[in-house]
């Protein structure tokens, strides 16, 4: 009987609706059962061949089955919608009673970290940390350091000159002069800071880098005092024994002058781009303060003497962390900086 077939089709469709696990599966059941080309639609097309009495009876059965299926489809769809809503709410749920997370905590740049370690070390040795302007006068950057206008040493430092005769300081030594003028002897001071050289950039050179100048002015200061402080400095920074060499060096503001080199910690000696394939890195120009520098700063060289040194903070960082290219330090690549 046709009405029995309709009821049987409706029962199977109801079972499929109940078993549908996804909205897509439910939509497939709807298309098969009550869609424009579904089973019930095909039955409706054959209604014209029935007698009026059968058409009325089958029509009632067909409408009842369709209403039953549509109700079941709608109920199941609402279940899926409610489940999706709960999932979205769970994902977007926010506890308004919790405090705000705040900004992500950062960390110190490796240059800043080394600078602070050195400051702590020298403060513990009785030194004062001084600072000075990065835009300097020609007097403090050159003249007061025994480098007059016609001195060949000016050619050794490629300078960024500014309008009005000022310049970007090529070293932090001007802070030593300012410190001697302001504080006078006896004096123990360091001056960490940023310096500028008009140089070509490569793996071991930058136009902007960091130095740390140090000075001790007192009575009866000798090279032995200088070597003691340099050895203390290197042992504290590298936390191990390092191979060094001391060779004569010329710097107008010290006499005698020395170059303290450290064996390259990147390659261990065979040579690499950082050490220019020499196995050694120039790290600590140093020497006894030239009497002319003391005299210019208002200090009597007959009564007072001292030593001075200049440390390349950027190169020290490269040795400490085995960085093979100076350009990484100011490149702004977070993948590099987050390693520290």
* CATH number of the domain bearing residue 142: 3.30.930.10
- Which residues, other chains included, contact 64 with Cβ-Cβ below 8 Å and sequence gap of 6+? none
Overall domain count for the chain: 2
Residue 2, pLDDT score = 61
Same domain, yes or no: 195 and 236: yes
Least confident of 4-13, 84-93, 110-119, 241-250: 4-13
Same domain, yes or no: 65 and 126: no
In a domain, 153, yes or no: yes
Same domain, yes or no: 74 and 186: no
In a domain, 101, yes or no: no
CA 176 to chain centre: 32
The mean pLDDT value for 81-106 works out to: 81
Same domain, yes or no: 38 and 116: no
In a domain, 146, yes or no: yes
Average pLDDT across the chain, whole number: 83
- Residue whose structure tokens are 């206008």: 149
In a domain, 28, yes or no: yes
Q: In which band, very low, low, confident or very high, does the pLDDT at 153 lie, cut at 50, 70 and 90?
A: low
Same domain, yes or no: 57 and 134: no
Same domain, yes or no: 180 and 41: no
Q: In which band, very low, low, confident or very high, does the pLDDT at 26 lie, cut at 50, 70 and 90?
A: confident
**Residue from 120, 156, 138, 324 nearest 251 by CA:** 156
Same domain, yes or no: 195 and 296: yes
Residue 188, pLDDT score = 95
Same domain, yes or no: 127 and 80: no
Buried b (16+ CB within 10 A) or exposed e, 225-261: bbbebbeebbeebeeeeeebeeeebebbbbeebbbbb
E strand or H helix at 193: strand 187-196
- Do 215 and 289 touch, CB atoms closer than 8 A? yes
Same domain, yes or no: 51 and 115: no
The mean pLDDT value for 33-57 works out to: 71
In a domain, 102, yes or no: no
- The per-residue pLDDT for range 242-293, each reduced to its tens digit, is 777 878 888 888 888 988 887 887 787 788 877 788 888 777 888 999 999 9
- Do 261 and 305 touch, CB atoms closer than 8 A? no
In a domain, 171, yes or no: yes
- The range of the structural domain enclosing residue 288 comes to 110-337
Most confident of 46-55, 81-90, 236-245: 81-90
Q: In which band, very low, low, confident or very high, does the pLDDT at 48 lie, cut at 50, 70 and 90?
A: low
Cβ burial of 223 (10 Å; 0-12, 13-18, 19+) is middle
Tell me what percent of the residues of the chain surpass a pLDDT of 90: 25
Most confident of 12-16, 164-168, 297-301: 297-301
Answer with the one of 27, 58, 92 that is the final residue of a domain: 92
Answer with the one of 32, 63, 92 that is the final residue of a domain: 92
Same domain, yes or no: 168 and 270: yes
State yes or no: pLDDT of 37 exceeds 90: no
Answer with the one of 62, 92, 122 that is the final residue of a domain: 92
- The per-residue pLDDT for range 193-228, each reduced to its tens digit, is 999 988 887 777 778 889 999 999 999 899 888 888
Same domain, yes or no: 74 and 168: no
Task: Using DSSP, state whether 225 is helix, strand or coil.
Answer: helix
Q: Provide long-range contacts, Cβ within 8 A and 24+ apart, for 32-41.
A: 33/9, 33/69, 33/73, 34/66, 34/69, 34/70, 34/73, 39/9, 39/13, 40/6, 40/9, 40/65, 40/66, 40/69
Establish whether the linkage from the previous residue to 321 is cis, with ω within 30° of 0.
no
- Do 4 and 29 touch, CB atoms closer than 8 A? no
Residue 47, pLDDT score = 66
In a domain, 98, yes or no: no
In a domain, 100, yes or no: no
Residue 119, pLDDT score = 93
Strands 244-248 and 208-218, how do they pair? unpaired
Rounded (5°) CA angle 258-125-217: 55
State yes or no: pLDDT of 85 exceeds 90: no
State yes or no: pLDDT of 118 exceeds 80: yes
Strands 187-196 and 128-129, how do they pair? parallel
Same domain, yes or no: 199 and 84: no
Calpha distance 15→124 (Å, rounded): 84
pTM over 0.85: no
């Amino acid at each position: 009987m046709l009405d029995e077939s309709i009821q049987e089709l409706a029962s199977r469709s109801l079972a499929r609706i109940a078993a549908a696990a996804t909205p897509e599966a439910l939509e497939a059941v709807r298309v098969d059962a009550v869609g424009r080309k579904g089973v019930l639609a095909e039955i409706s097309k054959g209604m014209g061949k029935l007698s009026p009495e059968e058409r009325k009876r089958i029509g009632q059965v067909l409408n009842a089955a369709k209403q039953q299926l549509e109700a079941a489809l709608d109920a199941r769809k609402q279940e899926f919608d409610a489940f999706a809503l709960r999932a979205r709410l769970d994902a977007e749920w926010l506890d308004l009673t919790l405090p705000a997370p705040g900004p992500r905590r950062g960390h110190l740049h490796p240059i800043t970290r080394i600078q602070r370690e050195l400051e702590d070390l020298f403060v513990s040795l009785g030194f004062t940390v001084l600072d000075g302007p990065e835009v300097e006068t020609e007097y403090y950057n050159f003249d007061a350091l025994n480098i007059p206008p016609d001195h060949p040493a000016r050619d050794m430092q490629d300078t960024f000159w500014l309008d009005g005769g000022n310049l970007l300081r090529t070293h932090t030594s001007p802070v030593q002069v300012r410190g001697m003028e302001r504080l006078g002897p006896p004096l123990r001071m360091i001056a960490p800071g940023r310096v500028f050289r008009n140089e070509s950039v490569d793996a071991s050179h930058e136009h902007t880098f960091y130095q740390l100048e140090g000075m001790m002015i007192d009575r009866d200061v000798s090279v032995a005092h200088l070597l003691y402080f340099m050895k203390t400095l290197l042992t504290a920074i590298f936390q191990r024994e390092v191979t060094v060499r001391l060779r004569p060096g010329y710097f107008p503001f010290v006499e005698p002058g020395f170059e303290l080199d450290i064996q390259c910690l990147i390659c261990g000696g065979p040579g690499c781009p950082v050490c220019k394939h020499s196995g050694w890195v120039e790290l600590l120009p140093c020497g006894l303060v030239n009497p002319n520098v003391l005299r210019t700063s208002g200090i009597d060289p007959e009564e007072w003497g001292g030593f001075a040194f200049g440390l390349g903070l950027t190169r020290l960082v490269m040795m400490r962390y085995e960085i093979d290219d100076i350009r990484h330090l100011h490149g702004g690549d977070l993948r590099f900086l987050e390693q520290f």
